[in-house]
Amino acid sequence: MNTFDATLALDTATARPAGRIRLRNEELILAAAAQAFACHGYKGTSMNAIAQRAGLPKANLHYYFASKQGLYVEVIRHILALWDEAFDHLDVDDDPATALAGYIRQKMEFSRRHPQASKIFAMEVIGGCACLSSYFNDDYRRWFLGRAAVIQGWIEAGRMDPVEPMHLIFLIWSATQHYADFSDQIRRITGRKRLTRDDFAAATQDVTRVILKGCGLQPPTT
């Protein structure tokens, strides 16, 4: 069974035993919820089904998460936190080719390791972002515009070709998440039973080359 990455949990190095048990149970619940929501959507998923996937009594779910909506929002919040963290430290002094290639690589790796999480986000956005209205607020817009401003700074310094920064970010998001959200389509077209680590490595290399070349950048050799 695929599970969320350990980075979804808080640092447990100094936690007391009870704290470690709580974190472990929360990880189990989040992993089970991600699988259930990805397979059946929000409306088609019950707290009882999540409890069965997690191997925990239903009462335990309500102890950690008071409602299905609260659990659903928490799953999505973790997804976005991991995605955003990979782009948090973008700086105008960074090398644009290295920074963008690194971001593409991390997003592709997330699609490989956590396809269910990406699919949940995609379904939520397609459905109108009802549960994300509080997340995509002024703070998030400022964060996004800050990333775009760094790219604009590279353009103005002549370090990459002029492109619309927002469209570049949207392109990276869509290209990298495609390999999770539409993995069934890719498998059927390619005739593969599943996408392997090597498949993702090859796709990452090609996506990076296409995007960076389109920005007038030379892809890093490492």
CATH number reported for the structural domain that contains residue 38 in this entry: 1.10.10.60
Are residues 52 and 94 located together in one domain of the fold? Answer: no
Q: What is the CATH number of the domain that holds 123?
A: 1.10.357.10
Are residues 67 and 147 located together in one domain of the fold? Answer: no
Are residues 54 and 109 located together in one domain of the fold? Answer: no
Are residues 14 and 66 located together in one domain of the fold? Answer: yes
Interval 97-122: pLDDT, tens = 999 999 999 999 999 988 888 888 89
* Structural domain harbouring 139: 86-214
**Residue 18, pLDDT score:** 55
- Written as six digits, the tokens of 57 are 């009594």
**Residue 26, pLDDT score:** 85
Threshold 0.85, pTM exceeds: no
**Residue 181, pLDDT score:** 93
**Residue 222, pLDDT score:** 64
**Residue 221, pLDDT score:** 83
Are residues 119 and 206 located together in one domain of the fold? Answer: yes
Are residues 97 and 59 located together in one domain of the fold? Answer: no
Total domains in the chain come to 2
**Residue 105, pLDDT score:** 95
Tell whether 77 is covered by a domain: no
CA distance 96 to 136: 26
Residues 78 and 4 sit within 8 Å (Cβ to Cβ): yes
**Residue 142, pLDDT score:** 93
Q: Which residues contact 32 (CB under 8 A, 6 or more apart)?
A: 50, 51, 53, 54
Token pair 């190095």 in the structure block, residue: 13
Are residues 27 and 116 located together in one domain of the fold? Answer: no
Are residues 55 and 155 located together in one domain of the fold? Answer: no
Tell whether 36 is covered by a domain: yes
Tell whether 79 is covered by a domain: no
CA distance 207 to 211: 6
Are residues 141 and 90 located together in one domain of the fold? Answer: yes
Q: Please give the C-alpha separations between residue 41 and each of 14, 15, 192, in angstroms, as whole numbers.
A: 36, 34, 25
Query: Please, where are the H alpha helices in the chain?
Result: 17-40, 47-54, 58-64, 68-85, 96-113, 115-126, 138-156, 165-181, 183-190, 197-214
Give the chain's residues under pLDDT 70. 1-18, 222
The separation between CA 164 and the C-alpha centre of its own chain, rounded to angstroms, equals: 23
Residues 129 and 188 sit within 8 Å (Cβ to Cβ): no
